[in-house]
A = this chain, B = another copy of it.
Amino acid sequence: MTSPLPAGLRERKKAKTRLAIREQAIRLFEEQGYAATTVDQIAEAAEVSPSTFFRYFPTKEDVILTDDYDPLIVEAIKAQPPGVSPVKALLNGMKSVFLQFSAEEWESERRRQRIYQAVPELRARVMNQTVMAVDMLAAALAERDGGSADDLSYRVVAGAIVGVVVAITPPGSANGFGPEDLGQLEEALNILEANFRLR
């Protein structure tokens, strides 16, 4: 009865169902592989009908693709004062979100990443999301120091930063990105930072 936010019984049940589907899906993906697992199996394991599955997730891919904290990072970046360099702004933004992760959140995230790193079609979708983050980052950087998001300079800086972030998580990284990798992220961004003059 002591639930944090969800007011109605309906909302609570929905959240529960969604969680159950995702958990069972990830479990089955780990056990049998992504392609070998059918939506029917997931639905049965989560004790819902196949049609209900698609009501919660538009496609089978979306079970893995959903990522809740990208917007949080964007907010954290915008909150950085204008004096901070673009690279440091992103680094601080990412750290401020990731450092608040609980052990369970890290573990869950790591499982998610292991799956999509291993499945090309999922990885493609995630990479696309990441590429689209260039737009968000460029806008955030522009807003932060009152410039125009259309300014090519912002896009270049944002592209370079995102490119570096992507570059340090190659397809082969089997264990996913964990707290122990924050160091390499910082190192890579420092290399970039050390060679940037802009702003």
Contacts and interface: CB of A to CB of B under 8 A. Distances in A.
Interface of A: 120-121, 123-125, 127-128, 130-132, 134-135, 138, 152-153, 155-156, 158-168, 170-171, 184, 187-188, 191-192, 194-198
Task: Please give the count of copies of this chain that the complex contains.
Answer: 2
Contacts of A134: 163, 166-167
Q: Which among A124, A125, A152 has the greatest number of chain B C-beta atoms within 10 A? A: A124
Nearest to A184: B152
Contacts of A152: 168, 184, 187-188, 191
A159 B155 contact: no
Contacts of A120: 128
Contacts of A159: 160, 163-168, 188
